[in-house]
Amino acid sequence: MLLAVDVGNSHTVSGVFAGERLICQWRLKSDQDRTADELAIRYHALFQMAGVDLGQIDGFVLASVVPTLESSWLGFAEKYLRHLHSAPLSVNHKTDTGITVRTRNPAEVGADRIVNAVAAWDRFQDRLIVIDFGTAITFDCVSHRREYVGGTIHPGIGISLDALAGRTAKLPRIDIDRKPDQVIGDTTASAIRSGILHGFGGLVDRMVDLISEQLGPAGETVHTVATGGMAHLIAPYARTISQVDPLLTLTGLRLIHERYQG
């Protein structure tokens, strides 16, 4: 079995694969001060609740944008995963993923962005855009030559909501799970809800249109897939999101690990 871990700035998503099948997954807050031993205590309990024996884990792969947690996770794997067939794998720009990173400074590219590109390329085998709704919203672009060529970075939805509530006297922190009845909000809450959902949907469409013009000849298909915790909320408001896959990063980690095992 493979334990795949995606460490983001806000949340850590992890999952256990039996072959290609994801049998369990967890989404927890990323605590930058957590040690390898503390990770072991928490995940021992999670494994027990899922009915999975830690001793069955024979593969480990990690993508992290938090250096301190990357060290803790690698320490956890080396100390507590005693049946690994190979050394714990932490993905970075130097990892042989099958995707060539063609940016000015490849070291700047987050591991999660490379992993998402791997999973999306495996699906489409063509020019593509991955839209990841995390702490930041990132657009990651892969050419028809299987090259990661860069992307764009935008403030995330949570950051925007926190800024509205924290920097204004009367605007509340609201739940955006509810669909707005109309674009023009007739209450403060409905105005914020409409602004966030329709506004970020419009941002997605505008960026996809612009990026598509640069990625390839006019009129040719550029595939899009959205992932991340809030992707399902924005997808109905963006005409250019063709697929939503919340498991894209975990799938990419599995594919990279399989490539190394092969």
Please answer whether residues 197 and 181 qualify as being in contact, where contact means their C-beta atoms are separated by less than 8 angstroms: no
> Which one of the listed residues 112, 122, 205, 209 is annotated catalytic?
112
Instruction: Give the residue numbers of the binding site for ATP.
Output: 6-13, 135
Instruction: Give the residue numbers of the binding site.
Output: 6-13, 110-113, 132, 135, 188
Note if 126 is an active site residue: no
Instruction: Give the residue numbers of the binding site for K(+).
Output: 132
Which of 200, 230, 257, 253 has its CA nearest to residue 7? 253
Instruction: Give the residue numbers of the binding site for substrate.
Output: 110-113, 188
- Please list the active-site residues: 112
